Structure 1
Amino acid sequence: GRPRRCGWFDAVLVRRSIELNSITGLCLTKLDVLDGLSQLKIAVAYRDSQNNELTAPPTSADEFANLQVVYEELPGWSECTANVTDLAALPKAARHYIERLETLLGVPIAILSTGSERNSTIIRQNPFA
């Protein structure tokens, strides 16, 4: 595919959005763009100028300017996840990444997208059932 700039997953912001919007499940897209990365990072907190660790996002953009992101590092994977349609067929490290996101966020990853094709999807929990 085409080159992309990808930022690390910010679990602090997503968790706050889940709380504010009563979200019960998420769709994780573009899992395949993480293929080949030796390590993955997840933002799990922020650190202010007094070295205090914050597990909730600030309420204004100005407050973000003085924060450092605290990352948790997970192993990446070299195997290809593009167009995988079965969770068990994903690399172990990819499954661990998904499980860690679910733990941090407190909601299931109900749907996974593994490629650009419509059928490049793993439905773990039918959102229409």
Structure 2
Amino acid sequence: MKLSAPIPLFRVFDYELAKAFYCHWLGFTIDWEHRFSPTAPRYLQISRDAAVFHLTEHYGDCTPGSKVFLHIDDVEALHAELSTRPNPNMNPGIEHAPWNAKTLEVTDPFGNRICFNQSLE
């Protein structure tokens, strides 16, 4: 038996806002989308490198305001990249965490948070 990496689900309320945040600002790509009808809520998968998230507009799929801890090998490179694409609602900084890591935390327009963590060990 072998477990695979989990896929976090984030509740989103506006497709265009989610796309602007995750794709245009954070650099994720939409892998696929699903809707039961043209007016139904969307469910989509986004990815960047090995990081995969599911974003859902469906009521009851998950709780808004969740947080994901995501390992990264170069938090300063991510910080520099995000600085080239200004976001009027986010200006994250790099912090030194007590667990011997550098972190950068962002919050999407729906209150979901991603903590990018670079271990210094």
TM-score by length of 1: 0.27
Larger radius of gyration: 1
TM-score after normalising by structure 2: 0.28
Higher RCO by CA contacts (8 Å cutoff, separation 6 or greater): 1
**Structure with more of its chain in helix, by fraction:** 1
